[in-house]
Amino acid sequence: MPKHDFDTLDGMTKVVQQMVGQMAELTFTSPEDDWISTMFIYSPKGIQVMALPGEMFETQTTKDLLAELLKQFVASQGAYRYALLLNAHMAPMPKDEFEDWQQTEERVSERPNAVEVLVLISGDAEQEQLTHSVIEFTADGIRRAGPWEVWPTDDGGRFSQLNAYLRDVLKEDA
């Protein structure tokens, strides 16, 4: 197999970020066009891409279940690296308000100060990187990926640490 940019975590992260931007530039033609949450895995099987069903993001319970399934899936595939693209909303709030909000079923998108973002969680057995892009809109209301930035925290929520079981598998193999 020829060497490609997925051979390093930084390379894989950059490739996925570029693909996300190019997809919008080349295919989004109406305000309804949007990204879907997608899992990318680079493993001994090659590069696998899996769209994630929107229904899995409808409640806190289904999101928790999906996060656990993804952790198990990454490990079961023997992933060298992975990247999880999430289409989400972000709304700044104080820590105590955030902790109270987490106990509700209110969606972040319902908050008045919410902005649409793409979140990319990429990792391998040793580390995980969190980056995000605030979604921008053309004059016609068509979505475009904004510049990618490091996520403002090291806590990516329920979908972070997808490499937890991957590390465990590597320890067992040692």
For residues 36-53, give the mean pLDDT. Answer: 93
The residue length of the chain stands at: 174
Q: Give the span between the Cα atoms of 20 and 25, in whole angstroms.
A: 9
**pLDDT: which is higher, 55 or 106:** 55
pLDDT digits (tens, 9 = 90+) for 97-147: 878 877 887 777 788 888 899 999 999 988 899 999 999 999 999 999 999
For residue 99, the 8-state DSSP code is H
Confidence (pLDDT) at 86: 93
Q: Give the span between the Cα atoms of 43 and 82, in whole angstroms.
A: 9
For residues 151-156, give the mean pLDDT. Answer: 64
The overall average pLDDT reported for the chain is 86
CB atoms within 10 A of CB 156: 21
Q: Give the span between the Cα atoms of 76 and 52, in whole angstroms.
A: 17
Is the pLDDT reported for residue 169 higher than 90?
A: no
pTM of the model: 0.85
Give the distance from CA 3 to its chain's centroid.
Answer: 24
Confidence bin at 1 (pLDDT 50/70/90): very low
Domain ranges of the chain: 5-173
